[in-house]
Protein backbone atom coordinates (compact mmCIF):
# COMPACT_ATOMS: atom_id res chain seq x y z
CA UNK A 1 0.00 0.00 0.00
CA UNK A 2 0.92 3.63 -0.50
CA UNK A 3 -0.27 5.49 2.61
CA UNK A 4 -0.39 9.27 2.78
CA UNK A 5 -1.02 12.12 5.16
CA UNK A 6 -3.08 14.64 3.25
CA UNK A 7 -5.38 17.62 3.56
CA UNK A 8 -7.89 19.43 1.39
CA UNK A 9 -9.16 22.98 1.24
CA UNK A 10 -12.19 21.91 3.31
CA UNK A 11 -10.19 19.97 5.91
CA UNK A 12 -6.74 21.58 6.34
CA UNK A 13 -5.53 19.23 9.10
CA UNK A 14 -3.57 16.15 7.91
CA UNK A 15 -5.47 12.88 7.85
CA UNK A 16 -4.82 9.39 6.61
CA UNK A 17 -5.38 8.06 3.11
CA UNK A 18 -4.32 5.34 0.70
CA UNK A 19 -3.32 5.95 -2.91
CA UNK A 20 -4.75 3.79 -5.66
CA UNK A 21 -3.52 4.89 -9.06
CA UNK A 22 -4.27 8.60 -9.25
CA UNK A 23 -7.00 8.50 -6.61
CA UNK A 24 -7.21 8.57 -2.83
CA UNK A 25 -9.18 6.41 -0.43
CA UNK A 26 -9.97 8.32 2.75
CA UNK A 27 -9.23 6.44 5.99
CA UNK A 28 -10.08 7.26 9.61
CA UNK A 29 -7.52 8.81 11.95
CA UNK A 30 -3.94 9.78 11.24
CA UNK A 31 -0.76 7.97 10.24
CA UNK A 32 0.42 7.93 13.85
CA UNK A 33 -2.91 6.45 14.95
CA UNK A 34 -2.43 3.67 12.42
CA UNK A 35 1.18 2.95 13.32
CA UNK A 36 0.50 2.97 17.05
CA UNK A 37 -2.32 0.49 16.45
CA UNK A 38 0.24 -2.11 15.39
CA UNK A 39 -0.27 -5.06 13.08
CA UNK A 40 -3.98 -5.37 13.84
CA UNK A 41 -4.64 -1.78 12.75
CA UNK A 42 -2.64 -2.31 9.56
CA UNK A 43 -4.68 -5.41 8.73
CA UNK A 44 -7.92 -3.45 9.19
CA UNK A 45 -6.66 -0.75 6.86
CA UNK A 46 -5.70 -3.33 4.22
CA UNK A 47 -9.21 -4.73 4.37
CA UNK A 48 -10.76 -1.27 4.14
CA UNK A 49 -8.61 -0.30 1.16
CA UNK A 50 -9.45 -3.55 -0.64
CA UNK A 51 -13.20 -3.00 -0.45
CA UNK A 52 -13.53 0.81 -0.57
CA UNK A 53 -13.88 2.96 -3.66
CA UNK A 54 -11.68 6.07 -3.91
CA UNK A 55 -13.38 9.41 -3.20
CA UNK A 56 -10.73 12.00 -4.07
CA UNK A 57 -8.35 12.76 -6.91
CA UNK A 58 -4.70 12.66 -5.88
CA UNK A 59 -3.94 15.81 -7.87
CA UNK A 60 -6.47 17.77 -5.81
CA UNK A 61 -5.12 17.01 -2.32
CA UNK A 62 -2.13 18.46 -0.51
CA UNK A 63 0.42 15.86 0.52
CA UNK A 64 2.13 16.27 3.88
CA UNK A 65 5.05 14.33 5.32
CA UNK A 66 3.72 10.77 5.80
CA UNK A 67 4.44 11.10 9.54
CA UNK A 68 3.88 14.76 10.32
CA UNK A 69 5.20 14.78 13.89
CA UNK A 70 7.56 11.86 14.57
CA UNK A 71 8.69 11.23 18.11
CA UNK A 72 12.30 10.61 17.05
CA UNK A 73 14.12 11.56 13.85
CA UNK A 74 17.49 9.86 13.60
CA UNK A 75 19.98 10.04 10.72
CA UNK A 76 23.12 8.03 10.07
CA UNK A 77 26.29 9.65 8.77
CA UNK A 78 28.88 8.32 6.31
CA UNK A 79 26.86 5.28 5.28
CA UNK A 80 27.85 4.95 1.60
CA UNK A 81 31.48 4.16 0.76
CA UNK A 82 31.60 6.67 -2.10
CA UNK A 83 30.30 9.45 0.18
CA UNK A 84 32.91 8.50 2.79
CA UNK A 85 35.57 8.86 0.09
CA UNK A 86 34.36 12.24 -1.17
CA UNK A 87 34.20 13.50 2.43
CA UNK A 88 37.85 12.52 3.02
CA UNK A 89 36.87 10.55 6.11
CA UNK A 90 37.70 7.04 7.31
CA UNK A 91 35.08 4.32 6.90
CA UNK A 92 33.27 4.14 10.25
CA UNK A 93 33.66 0.99 12.33
CA UNK A 94 30.39 1.71 14.13
CA UNK A 95 27.13 3.32 13.08
CA UNK A 96 27.27 7.11 13.47
CA UNK A 97 23.83 8.47 14.38
CA UNK A 98 22.66 12.02 15.07
CA UNK A 99 19.31 13.64 15.82
CA UNK A 100 17.24 15.90 13.60
CA UNK A 101 14.72 18.00 15.52
CA UNK A 102 11.01 17.53 14.76
CA UNK A 103 10.68 21.08 13.37
CA UNK A 104 12.69 20.02 10.32
CA UNK A 105 9.99 17.67 9.01
CA UNK A 106 8.55 19.03 5.79
CA UNK A 107 6.15 17.98 3.07
CA UNK A 108 7.31 16.30 -0.15
CA UNK A 109 6.63 19.34 -2.35
CA UNK A 110 6.97 22.22 0.11
CA UNK A 111 9.66 24.88 -0.07
CA UNK A 112 12.98 24.52 1.77
CA UNK A 113 14.26 27.53 3.69
CA UNK A 114 17.50 29.17 2.61
CA UNK A 115 18.66 30.22 6.10
CA UNK A 116 19.18 33.89 6.82
CA UNK A 117 22.34 32.94 8.76
CA UNK A 118 24.10 30.76 6.17
CA UNK A 119 24.66 30.25 2.45
CA UNK A 120 26.13 26.74 2.85
CA UNK A 121 22.87 24.89 2.13
CA UNK A 122 23.20 21.35 0.80
CA UNK A 123 21.06 18.35 -0.18
CA UNK A 124 21.35 14.65 0.67
CA UNK A 125 19.20 12.03 -1.08
CA UNK A 126 18.24 9.37 1.45
CA UNK A 127 16.11 6.29 1.94
CA UNK A 128 13.87 6.78 4.98
CA UNK A 129 12.67 3.97 7.27
CA UNK A 130 9.43 4.40 9.25
CA UNK A 131 9.09 2.29 12.40
CA UNK A 132 5.76 0.54 12.75
CA UNK A 133 6.04 -1.34 16.04
CA UNK A 134 7.40 -0.24 19.41
CA UNK A 135 10.48 -2.36 19.94
CA UNK A 136 13.67 -2.96 21.95
CA UNK A 137 16.58 -5.40 21.48
CA UNK A 138 15.47 -6.48 18.02
CA UNK A 139 17.83 -9.02 16.39
CA UNK A 140 18.84 -8.16 12.84
CA UNK A 141 16.94 -11.15 11.40
CA UNK A 142 13.68 -9.83 12.89
CA UNK A 143 14.15 -6.15 12.08
CA UNK A 144 11.79 -6.27 9.12
CA UNK A 145 8.94 -7.10 11.52
CA UNK A 146 9.09 -3.62 13.08
CA UNK A 147 9.44 -1.57 9.87
CA UNK A 148 6.09 -0.28 8.63
CA UNK A 149 7.44 1.08 5.38
CA UNK A 150 9.78 3.37 3.50
CA UNK A 151 9.77 6.75 1.83
CA UNK A 152 12.05 9.26 0.10
CA UNK A 153 13.92 11.85 2.16
CA UNK A 154 16.26 14.81 1.84
CA UNK A 155 18.60 15.30 4.80
CA UNK A 156 19.02 19.00 4.08
CA UNK A 157 22.21 20.24 5.71
CA UNK A 158 23.59 23.64 6.65
CA UNK A 159 27.26 22.73 6.31
CA UNK A 160 28.95 25.49 8.27
CA UNK A 161 26.59 25.02 11.23
CA UNK A 162 26.91 21.23 10.90
CA UNK A 163 30.67 21.41 11.34
CA UNK A 164 30.56 23.67 14.40
CA UNK A 165 29.63 20.82 16.73
CA UNK A 166 30.57 17.16 16.86
CA UNK A 167 26.93 16.12 17.13
CA UNK A 168 26.00 17.95 13.86
CA UNK A 169 22.51 18.30 15.29
CA UNK A 170 21.84 22.02 14.78
CA UNK A 171 23.18 22.06 11.23
CA UNK A 172 20.89 19.15 10.38
CA UNK A 173 17.77 20.50 12.08
CA UNK A 174 16.89 23.89 10.62
CA UNK A 175 13.16 24.39 10.05
CA UNK A 176 11.91 22.70 6.82
CA UNK A 177 15.17 20.76 6.38
CA UNK A 178 13.68 17.27 6.50
CA UNK A 179 11.25 16.82 3.60
CA UNK A 180 9.96 13.24 3.32
CA UNK A 181 7.34 11.49 1.23
CA UNK A 182 5.47 11.54 -1.02
CA UNK A 183 3.93 8.58 0.80
CA UNK A 184 4.93 5.64 2.94
CA UNK A 185 5.14 2.48 0.85
CA UNK A 186 4.50 -0.50 3.12
CA UNK A 187 7.29 -3.03 3.57
CA UNK A 188 5.46 -5.84 1.78
CA UNK A 189 5.13 -3.75 -1.38
CA UNK A 190 8.76 -2.58 -1.33
CA UNK A 191 10.27 -6.03 -0.87
CA UNK A 192 14.04 -5.88 -0.37
CA UNK A 193 14.86 -2.22 0.51
CA UNK A 194 18.51 -2.80 -0.38
CA UNK A 195 18.00 -3.04 -4.16
CA UNK A 196 16.66 0.46 -4.88
CA UNK A 197 18.17 3.01 -7.25
CA UNK A 198 18.47 6.42 -5.55
CA UNK A 199 19.03 9.68 -7.45
CA UNK A 200 18.98 13.43 -6.94
CA UNK A 201 18.81 16.35 -9.35
CA UNK A 202 19.34 20.08 -8.83
CA UNK A 203 17.60 22.18 -11.48
CA UNK A 204 17.46 19.09 -13.69
CA UNK A 205 21.19 18.28 -13.34
CA UNK A 206 21.80 14.75 -12.06
CA UNK A 207 23.94 15.05 -8.91
CA UNK A 208 23.60 11.68 -7.15
CA UNK A 209 23.09 8.27 -8.74
CA UNK A 210 23.51 5.13 -6.63
CA UNK A 211 21.69 2.12 -5.19
CA UNK A 212 20.78 1.19 -1.63
CA UNK A 213 22.79 -2.03 -2.03
CA UNK A 214 25.82 0.18 -1.34
CA UNK A 215 24.73 1.04 2.21
CA UNK A 216 27.54 0.24 4.65
CA UNK A 217 25.04 -0.45 7.43
CA UNK A 218 21.66 -1.43 6.00
CA UNK A 219 18.14 -0.84 7.32
CA UNK A 220 18.06 -4.02 9.39
CA UNK A 221 21.49 -3.28 10.87
CA UNK A 222 20.15 0.13 11.89
CA UNK A 223 17.11 -1.23 13.74
CA UNK A 224 19.17 -3.87 15.52
CA UNK A 225 21.82 -1.36 16.56
CA UNK A 226 19.55 1.46 17.71
CA UNK A 227 17.16 -0.80 19.60
CA UNK A 228 20.03 -2.06 21.73
CA UNK A 229 20.30 1.45 23.18
CA UNK A 230 16.73 2.70 23.42
CA UNK A 231 13.17 1.82 22.55
CA UNK A 232 12.10 2.65 19.02
CA UNK A 233 8.50 3.86 18.90
CA UNK A 234 5.89 3.57 16.18
CA UNK A 235 6.26 6.56 13.88
CA UNK A 236 9.98 7.10 14.50
CA UNK A 237 11.85 8.09 11.34
CA UNK A 238 15.33 6.92 10.32
CA UNK A 239 17.32 8.63 7.54
CA UNK A 240 19.69 6.01 6.13
CA UNK A 241 22.53 8.15 4.74
CA UNK A 242 23.44 9.63 1.37
CA UNK A 243 25.65 8.53 -1.55
CA UNK A 244 28.32 10.67 -3.21
CA UNK A 245 27.49 13.80 -5.18
CA UNK A 246 26.59 16.31 -2.46
CA UNK A 247 27.27 19.95 -3.21
CA UNK A 248 29.81 20.42 -0.42
CA UNK A 249 32.16 17.84 -1.96
CA UNK A 250 32.30 19.49 -5.39
CA UNK A 251 35.26 21.61 -6.40
CA UNK A 252 34.34 24.36 -5.95
CA UNK A 253 31.35 23.55 -3.70
CA UNK A 254 27.91 23.98 -5.26
CA UNK A 255 25.58 25.05 -2.48
CA UNK A 256 21.86 25.58 -3.02
CA UNK A 257 20.57 29.06 -3.85
CA UNK A 258 17.16 30.68 -3.75
CA UNK A 259 15.07 29.38 -6.63
CA UNK A 260 16.92 26.06 -6.95
CA UNK A 261 14.75 22.95 -7.22
CA UNK A 262 15.92 19.66 -5.68
CA UNK A 263 14.30 16.43 -6.85
CA UNK A 264 15.02 13.11 -5.15
CA UNK A 265 13.71 9.81 -6.47
CA UNK A 266 13.98 6.23 -5.22
CA UNK A 267 12.76 3.18 -7.14
CA UNK A 268 9.33 1.92 -6.04
CA UNK A 269 8.96 4.84 -3.62
CA UNK A 270 8.34 7.81 -5.91
CA UNK A 271 9.95 11.25 -5.68
CA UNK A 272 9.94 14.44 -3.68
CA UNK A 273 10.69 17.88 -5.15
CA UNK A 274 11.39 21.03 -3.17
CA UNK A 275 12.19 24.59 -4.19
CA UNK A 276 14.60 26.69 -2.13
CA UNK A 277 13.22 30.01 -0.88
CA UNK A 278 14.76 32.67 1.37
CA UNK A 279 13.81 32.37 5.01
CA UNK A 280 12.18 35.27 6.74
CA UNK A 281 14.50 36.68 9.38
CA UNK A 282 11.62 38.25 11.31
CA UNK A 283 11.56 37.65 15.08
CA UNK A 284 8.76 35.29 16.15
CA UNK A 285 7.64 35.05 19.77
CA UNK A 286 4.56 33.11 20.77
Query: Angle at CA 82, nearest 5°, toward 76 and 84?
Result: 50
Q: What is the residue extent of each domain of the chain?
A: 2-64, 73-278
Contact 245, 159 (CB under 8 A): no
β pairing state of 270-278 and 112-114: parallel
CATH number 3.40.47.10 is the correct assignment for the domain at 73-278: no
Per-residue pLDDT tens digits for 84-139: 999 888 899 999 999 999 999 999 999 999 999 999 999 999 999 999 999 999 99
Looking at the DSSP bridge assignments, the partners of residue 181 are: 152
Residue 286 contacts by C-beta under 8 Å, 6 or more apart in sequence? Answer: none
Residue 150 is inside which H or E element, if any?
A: strand 147-154
**Which segments in the chain show pLDDT lower than 50?**
none
Question: Any idea what DSSP says for residue 261?
Answer: E
Model pTM score: 0.97
How many Å apart are CA 2 and CA 11, to the nearest integer?
21
- Judge whether 150 and 127 are in contact, CB under 8 Å: yes
Tens of pLDDT along 34-46? 999 999 999 999 9
- Specify the pLDDT at position 187: 97
Predicted local distance difference test score (pLDDT) of residue 168: 95
Amino acid sequence: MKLISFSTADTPFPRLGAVRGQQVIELPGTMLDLLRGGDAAMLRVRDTVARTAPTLELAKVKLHAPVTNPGKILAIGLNYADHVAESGMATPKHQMWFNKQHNCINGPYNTINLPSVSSALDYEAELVVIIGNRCKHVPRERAQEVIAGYCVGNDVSVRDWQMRAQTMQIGKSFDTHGPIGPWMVTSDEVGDPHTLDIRSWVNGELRQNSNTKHLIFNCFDAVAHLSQAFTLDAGDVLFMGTPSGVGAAMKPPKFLKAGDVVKIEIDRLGFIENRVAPESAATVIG
